Amino acid sequence: MVDVNEDESARWMPAFLALLRTHARLKNLLELDVRRIGGLSVARFDVLTHLDMAGGRMRLSDLANAIVLSPPGLSKLFDRMEVSGLVERQPDPDDARSTVGVITRHGRAVVRKTRQQHHAFLQQIFGNVLGDRDLADVMRIMARLDAGMPH
């Protein structure tokens, strides 16, 4: 374990706490908005969005990586989404050991309706507040933070 110098942590701790606070508030607002529009959790919306953007199908291992969820966590979520008629599993035609997640017609309709209205909300709280330079800074900072984390 590395000892942290109090002076050094005083330099970055306010920024870290601001990030945590903003993330928590944003996550709560996103969850409320997505549930209001489409009756989805953010996790379900994330899965459907990734599948839709990938042309309707993805290997489940790739999907788990894309949404930052463990394969067992995605499997449980996918089970519940299958019961709701949003997605289905199919064998991967290129790899018999893999399974492909496929968005259903119902899932595509739900995610597209939700995304259209949800993006208006995101524009209001994110896009209207940040200019192009701010957005580039956020992307640069998030990439540096991500690169510094264990994967």
Q: 50: domain CATH number?
A: 1.10.10.10
Q: CB of 49 within 8 A of CB of 115?
A: yes
Angle at 72 between CA 67 and CA 75, to 5 degrees: 75
- 1 has pLDDT over 70: no
**How big is the chain by its Cα radius of gyration, in Å?**
19
Q: CB of 134 within 8 A of CB of 120?
A: no
| Residues 6 or more apart whose Cβ sits within 8 Å of residue 140 | none
Tell me which residue range forms the domain holding 131.
Answer: 20-148
**Is there a domain that residue 28 lies in?**
yes
Rounded CA-CA distance 48/86 in Å is: 8
Would you give the DSSP letter of residue 83?
Answer: H
Structural domain count, the chain: 1
**Is there a domain that residue 11 lies in?**
no
Task: Name the H helices within 39-149.
Answer: 42-53, 60-66, 71-83, 105-122, 132-148
Tens-place pLDDT, residues 139-148:
999 999 999 9
**Is there a domain that residue 2 lies in?**
no
Tens-place pLDDT, residues 9-66:
888 999 999 999 999 999 999 999 999 998 999 999 999 999 999 999 999 999 998 9
Rounded CA-CA distance 29/71 in Å is: 27
Bridge partner list, 99: 91
**Is there a domain that residue 31 lies in?**
yes
pLDDT of residue 60: 93
**Is there a domain that residue 65 lies in?**
yes
pLDDT confidence tier of residue 7, bands split at 50, 70 and 90: confident
Average pLDDT (100-129) is 94
Q: What is the largest CA-CA distance in the chain?
A: 57
Look up residue 9 and give its two tokens.
């942590």
**Is there a domain that residue 5 lies in?**
no
